[in-house]
């Protein structure tokens, strides 16, 4: 387990508090055949979900790895059932499973994208813009991203920062694919206000209400023309199916860490595709390790909307892998090497490492 500290090129704010740097937990699995990497999506503080980096570190050390090492061999498909006695902590579990899967695929010489069933070598990506101090600064930020080649922009919104800023961006960019993300900031009582966003021809409004209230989302969907997308609500393929059947969502944001890993993310994708619900890959300010794996997932056929993956320089001046660069048409290339398809820059990794902890199987 390795902790690294990476400053962001600019603060990313979704509320009064924000993120200026990433304290990241990386999991490295070392086997006789290969090594594998996993990245924990948990943030520095428990503001997006109950999980946070320090807590995830403790859970991996004290509960997940000991269970994983109770038997001498493990395959990636066995990680989830072995860790099932530990309730919750999906982001921590995802990091462990991802590292095992990466090692397994590297040993087999198989790319993660191929293993998952990718159908394209490059995926459309968008960019997410956090809250800004002024509408003018928001317009400037969007202008810069559009100039870079992004063809879809997501705006964070909250009460008091919604209709006005969205209207200003839409006036400036009448043809831009534009969507908004509320991060649970509203209640059903705000439905009339949220309906004012309908006039801006948005791709979606993401997670407007509380994550655990699917019926309220279903009712809100009946009151809005703008499609509702669920993010925080979707914690498994089972919940995704429930949300679709209730009419609570027309689009699903799949974040592998939030659902427990790439294998469950694949199952969420399949449920949505069977139901005709489009999906896209959300982002959690990942390093190149998580970004590479997200691109492999986003290359599956059900991912028909641009994801929040973005080029590396959107977040980091220097990453722990070679940077991902935006291609023409607002796309990123899907890594084609074994496993997650990228190599970790050991020199950079050493410079940004804040702590290392090694766990080994007990002697037999």
Q: Which of 179, 220, 224 is nearest to 202 (CA)?
A: 179
Mean pLDDT, the chain, rounded, equals 95
Does 151 have pLDDT greater than 80?
Answer: yes
> Do 280 and 294 contact (CB within 8 A), yes or no?
no
Give the C-alpha separation, 200 to 220, whole Å. 17
| pLDDT of 18 above 70 | no
Give the C-alpha separation, 321 to 278, whole Å. 30
Residue ranges per domain, the chain?
2-109+343-356, 114-333
* 23/230 Cα distance (integer angstroms): 26
Q: With 60 as the cut, is the pLDDT of residue 16 above it?
A: no
How far apart, in whole angstroms, are the C-alpha atoms of residue 50 and residue 90? 10
Please give the distance of CA 293 from its chain centroid, rounded to a whole number.
10
CATH for 114-333 is: 3.20.20.120
Predicted confidence (pLDDT) at residue 125 exceeds the cutoff of 60? yes
The pLDDT score that the predictor gives to residue 14 is 66
Indicate the SS3 state at residue 149: coil
Longest dimension (CA), the chain: 68
**Whole-number percent of the chain with pLDDT over 90:** 92
Going by pLDDT thresholds of 50, 70 and 90, the confidence category of residue 362 is: confident
| Over residues 7-35, mean pLDDT | 84
CA–CA dist 3, 43 (Å, integer): 12
**Closest listed residue to residue 3, CA positions, set 49, 52, 36:** 52
> Among the residues of 69-151, which ranges form H helices?
76-83, 90-108, 112-116, 135-148
> Which residues form the catalytic set?
156, 255
| Fold that domain 2-109+343-356 belongs to in CATH | Enolase-like; domain 1 (3.30.390)
């Amino acid at each position: 387990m390795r902790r690294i500290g990476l400053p962001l090129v600019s603060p990313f704010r979704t509320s009064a508090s924000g993120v200026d740097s990433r304290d990241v937990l990386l999991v490295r699995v070392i086997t006789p055949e290969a090594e594998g990497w996993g990245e924990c999506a948990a943030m520095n503080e428990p503001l997006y979900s109950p999980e946070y980096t320090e807590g995830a570190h403790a859970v991996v050390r004290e509960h997940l790895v000991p269970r994983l090492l109770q038997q001498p061999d493990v395959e990636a498909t066995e990680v989830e059932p072995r860790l099932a006695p530990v309730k919750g902590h999906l982001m921590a579990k995802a990091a462990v499973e991802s590292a095992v899967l990466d090692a397994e695929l590297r040993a087999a010489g198989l790319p993660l994208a191929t293993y998952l069933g990718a159908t394209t070598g490059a995926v459309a990506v968008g960019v997410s813009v956090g809250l800004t101090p002024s509408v003018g600064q928001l317009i400037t930020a969007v202008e810069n991203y559009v100039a870079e080649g992004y063809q879809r922009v997501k705006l964070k919104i909250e009460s008091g920062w919604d209709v006005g800023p969205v209207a200003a961006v839409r006036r400036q960019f009448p043809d831009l694919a534009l969507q908004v993300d509320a991060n649970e900031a509203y209640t059903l009582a705000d439905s009339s206000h949220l309906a004012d966003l309908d006039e801006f021809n948005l791709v979606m409004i993401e997670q407007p209400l509380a994550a655990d209230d699917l019926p309220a989302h279903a009712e809100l969907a009946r009151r809005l023309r703008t499609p509702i997308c669920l993010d925080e609500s979707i914690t498994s393929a089972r919940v995704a199916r429930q949300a679709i059947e209730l009419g609570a969502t027309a689009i699903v944001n799949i974040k592998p860490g939030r659902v427990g890993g790439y294998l469950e993310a694949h199952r969420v994708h399949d449920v949505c595709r069977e139901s005709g619900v489009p999906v896209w890959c959300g982002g959690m300010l990942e390093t190149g390790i998580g970004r590479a794996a997200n691109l492999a997932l986003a290359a599956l056929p059900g991912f028909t909307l641009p994801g929040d993956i973005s080029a590396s320089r959107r977040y980091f001046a220097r990453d722990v892998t070679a940077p991902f660069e935006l291609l023409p048409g607002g796309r990123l290339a899907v890594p084609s090497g074994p496993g997650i398809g990228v190599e970790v820059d050991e020199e950079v990794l050493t410079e940004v490492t804040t702590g290392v902890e090694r766990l080994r199987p007990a002697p037999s």
